[in-house]
Chain A
Amino acid sequence: EVQLVESGGGLVQPGGSLRLSCTASGFTSSNFQMSWVRQAPGKGLEWVANINQDGSQRFYVDSVKGRFTISRDNAKNSLYLQMNSLRAEDTAVYYCARDRQCYIWGQGTMVTVSS
């Protein structure tokens, strides 16, 4: 079964850091671009970042540039999102999704930024 499982969410203070992980199973993730998408409580979907198959190209939404870093470890079929200098407005469920067109989604992991 094709599946994505996110982990690493939690409560963090403003200015703090968190690293999210996404593990893929049922397919070879190295064959696909991967994306992170977030959804603030009660709000719509917002694309956050994308990485190509070998990690040589990365794209970000302006609001996270310089603070978030997307990376991957193809040997581990894993995708990561390093989040630094977190703000209250980063509070959201973070989903990983397969490929640029977001075909397969994980169940999401909740990130809460609050003092």
Chain B
Amino acid sequence: DVVMTQSPLSLPVTLGQPASISCRSSQSLVYSDGNTYLNWFQQRPGQSPRRLINKVSNRDSGVPDRFSGSGSGTDFTLKISRVEAEDVGVYYCMQGTHWPLTFGGGTKVEIK
């Protein structure tokens, strides 16, 4: 199985400051069609997860442009350019390339 390793586990951030979350996979996430199926999800307290980013860097509909994804192969990053209060929650990466699909352990973003 592909192991997804996120860091840090916890990320205290000052409002208006940037934040960065790392996700590393134990093997390449490039699929046979040439796409890299790495997704990022946000789960606010008490809510269902919401997908933010698909295929490494494509923002989903309605996602603020302060969220961006980057990376390739086995090394990926989610960045929030200026953290807002509504960004508090747990962020997960997920690979959709190999069966079984696997999630990272999550990164908790909180306000300092």
Interface residues of A (CB under 8 A from B): 35, 37, 44-47, 50, 59-62, 95, 100-108
A110 CB to closest chain B CB (Å) equals 13
Across-interface contacts of A35 in B (CB, < 8 A): 101
Q: Tell me the total A-B contact number using a CB cutoff of 8 A.
A: 57
Across-interface contacts of B100 in A (CB, < 8 A): 47, 59-62
> Any chain A CB within 8 A of the CB of B50?
yes
Interfacial residues of chain B within 45-66, with CB under 8 A of chain A in the complex: 48-51, 54, 60
Interface residues of B (CB under 8 A from A): 1, 37, 39, 41, 43, 48-51, 54, 60, 90, 92, 94, 96, 99-106
Q: Once bound together, how far apart are the Cα atoms of A35 and B43, in whole Å?
A: 18
Across-interface contacts of B37 in A (CB, < 8 A): 100-101
Across-interface contacts of A95 in B (CB, < 8 A): 48-49
Chain B residue nearest in CB terms to A44: B106
Q: Once bound together, how far apart are the Cα atoms of A46 and B60, in whole Å?
A: 21
Q: Once bound together, how far apart are the Cα atoms of A105 and B1, in whole Å?
A: 24
Please tell me if the beta carbons of A44 and B60 are within 8 angstroms of each other in the complex. Answer: no
Please tell me if the beta carbons of A107 and B54 are within 8 angstroms of each other in the complex. Answer: no
